[in-house]
């Protein structure tokens, strides 16, 4: 059975917004391996609206010289959105109807994992619906002080179980959690 695995860059104070502005000083071969293995284990990229819009504006214009470009461009992409009417990035489709139900059905089909990159609103909703199987956080040793956080709501209370942890040479923690 497939798993739905979310991977996010996060600061020590929980900020996930605009990682392109703060995470690159911590990029390393270890992080490249962690991110790459998550993509390699998947055949579907699941995105929320905001992350889809950023990715769709960026990745189609990058070629094989850019790390992960060919893989992301060629991968099947599903977008969870109530506001988008169509998606134009190659191999993309909107999820019709109830997202949790559609993903539960998709998890039962044969195939590799379904990976989520960023998309904190989607990640929170899938945790609430008990559909997310793993939460992989690359915690960067930086305090940003402001910005959108992964968990912003007091209603986000969800017990998690630490499955794996690795400390990279840059001080980034690679933490893998599953619902408890």
DSSP code of residue 148 = -
Determine the number of helices (DSSP H) and then strands (DSSP E) in the chain. 5, 8
Predicted TM-score of the model (pTM): 0.92
Residue corresponding to tokens 């798993």: 3
CA distances from 87 to 18, 58, 106 (A): 22, 14, 20
Cβ atoms of 151 and 14 closer than 8 Å: yes
Burial environment of residue 133 by CB neighbours within 10 A (0 to 12, 13 to 18, 19 or more) = middle
Looking at every residue in the chain, the average pLDDT score rounds to: 92
β-strand partners of 179:
160
Give the per-residue pLDDT at 72.
85
CATH number belonging to domain 4-157: 3.40.430.10
Q: Where are the domains of the chain?
A: 4-157
Q: Using the 8-state DSSP alphabet, how is residue 134 labeled?
A: E
pLDDT-derived band of residue 161, with 50, 70 and 90 as boundaries? Answer: very high
Average pLDDT (121-140) is 95
What pLDDT is stored for residue 58 in this prediction? 84
Q: Which of 169, 161, 180 is nearest to 34 (CA)?
A: 169
């Amino acid at each position: 059975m497939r798993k739905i695995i979310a991977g996010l860059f996060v600061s020590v104070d929980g900020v996930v917004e605009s990682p392109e502005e703060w995470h690159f000083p911590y990029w390393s071969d270890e992080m490249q391996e962690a991110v790459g293995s998550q993509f390699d284990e998947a055949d579907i990229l699941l995105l929320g609206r905001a992350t889809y819009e950023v990715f769709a504006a960026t990745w189609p214009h990058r070629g094989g010289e850019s790390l992960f470009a060919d893989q992301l461009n060629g991968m099947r992409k599903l977008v969870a959105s109530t506001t988008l009417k169509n998606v134009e990035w190659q191999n993309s489709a909107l999820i019709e109807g109830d997202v949790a139900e559609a993903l539960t059905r998709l998890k039962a089909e044969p195939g590799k994992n379904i990976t989520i990159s960023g998309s904190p609103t989607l990640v929170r909703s899938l945790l609430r619906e008990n559909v997310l199987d793993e939460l992989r956080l690359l915690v960067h040793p930086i305090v940003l002080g402001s910005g959108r956080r992964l968990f912003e709501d007091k209603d986000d209370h969800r017990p998690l179980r630490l499955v794996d942890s690795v400390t990279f040479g840059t001080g980034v923690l690679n933490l893998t959690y599953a619902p408890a």
